[in-house]
Amino acid sequence: MDVFELITVQSVPQAVKAQARATTAQQGANIRFIAGGTNLADMKLNVERPAQLVDISQLPLAQIEETADGGMKLGALARNADVATHAAVQAKYPVLSQALLAGASPQIRNMATVGGNLLQKTRCMYYRDTAADCNKRNPGSGCAAIAGDNRMLAILGASEHCIATNPSDQNVALMALEARVHIEGVKGAKDIPIGEFYLVPGSTPQRETVLEPGDLITYVSLPPPAAAARGAYLKLRDRASYEFALASAAVVMRQGTGGSIDFVRVALGGVGTKPWRSPEAERALLGKPPSAANLQAAAEAALRQAHPQSENAFKVELAKRCLVHALRQVSQA
């Protein structure tokens, strides 16, 4: 591990200023914020080698509160465990509570923060192995995963330069909930719909988000839940806990009088290079009853653009079954 300088900050403007001097906010940043530290330290600071870490853990950004419009505000430093078990989150956004509880372990959830989770790095083993070629870690070096062990990797949104999967559970639920990411930066405050926050790898897999140097995530806002909608998160993985998704589905759905679906949001995890919203599945369901045939048609639509690699074709079928199962959970006969 390289020696790094730890910078403690007392306010949001100080934090923004300290990180604004970074060369980039993307892979290879020489100055990084550190919150819970479970992702940054997990990489032993070898994959990323920041010279300076800006410790934001003492900033007053841990609030979890309901807003006047009926939505919620989740501070960037709110712990995953506290969000998951918050009574209002469980009542209004069960899909988010379930997604968080499906992630990591109780110990890690006690440290992990909303902001850190938004930016957690891929678990692609070639990204984490500094001896391997990886365009995300070392642009232009190639992608060892494409001809390598790619069982866990992406089937949606990949490119010839990168097939790394976004590993988060939280962010799949946030996609289905149409969250907004609020940022304080050198030019002031801005907020970004989560659907525009992540980038697909294309020819620049080292760029994962739209963040610029100095951009500090301050909170995530959730719009008021659709009245009477039901939500669920289903995660399929190799073992029952402490494991990343092979496929997951976050769904929010409501049936109107007569039983037809009049509100639906679908997002998939474990299969995309970013948390994957599926407007195709939503279009296939809207206005129809949740019959077995209609749920299956939605799953087919969600995975139509899938491009499996040598070892992960099974994920296409797995993701379809995962989505059908999750939709069935929120359907009313």
Ligand X SMILES: Cc1cc2nc3c(=O)[nH]c(=O)nc-3n(C[C@H](O)[C@H](O)[C@H](O)COP(=O)(O)OP(=O)(O)OC[C@H]3O[C@@H](n4cnc5c(N)ncnc54)[C@H](O)[C@@H]3O)c2cc1C
Which residues contact ligand X by CB under 6 A?
32-40, 42, 56, 76, 80, 103-104, 108, 111-113, 115-117, 119-120, 167-170, 216-217, 244
Give the gyration radius of the chain's Cα atoms. 19
CA-CA distance, 206 to 12, in Å (whole number)?
A: 26
Q: What's at 241, amino acid-wise? A: S
Question: What's the closest the beta carbon of residue 242 comes to ligand X, in angstroms?
Answer: 6
Specify the residue, 36 or 201, whose C-beta has the smaller distance to ligand X. 36
Question: What's the closest the beta carbon of residue 185 comes to ligand X, in angstroms?
Answer: 10
Specify the residue, 162 or 229, whose C-beta has the smaller distance to ligand X. 162
Question: What's the closest the beta carbon of residue 331 comes to ligand X, in angstroms?
Answer: 26
Q: Which residues contact 202 (CB under 8 A, 6 or more apart)?
A: 159, 161
Specify the residue, 115 or 272, whose C-beta has the smaller distance to ligand X. 115
CA-CA distance, 302 to 278, in Å (whole number)?
A: 6
What number of residues does the chain have? 333
CA-CA distance, 171 to 255, in Å (whole number)?
A: 25
**Closest-CB residue for ligand X?**
116
Specify the residue, 104 or 154, whose C-beta has the smaller distance to ligand X. 104
What share of residues in the chain are helix, strand, coil (percent, to 5)?
30, 25, 50
CA-CA distance, 193 to 199, in Å (whole number)?
A: 13
Question: What's the closest the beta carbon of residue 321 comes to ligand X, in angstroms?
Answer: 20
Q: What's at 258, amino acid-wise? A: G
Question: What's the closest the beta carbon of residue 227 comes to ligand X, in angstroms?
Answer: 29
Specify the residue, 113 or 255, whose C-beta has the smaller distance to ligand X. 113
Question: What's the closest the beta carbon of residue 333 comes to ligand X, in angstroms?
Answer: 32
Specify the residue, 146 or 194, whose C-beta has the smaller distance to ligand X. 194
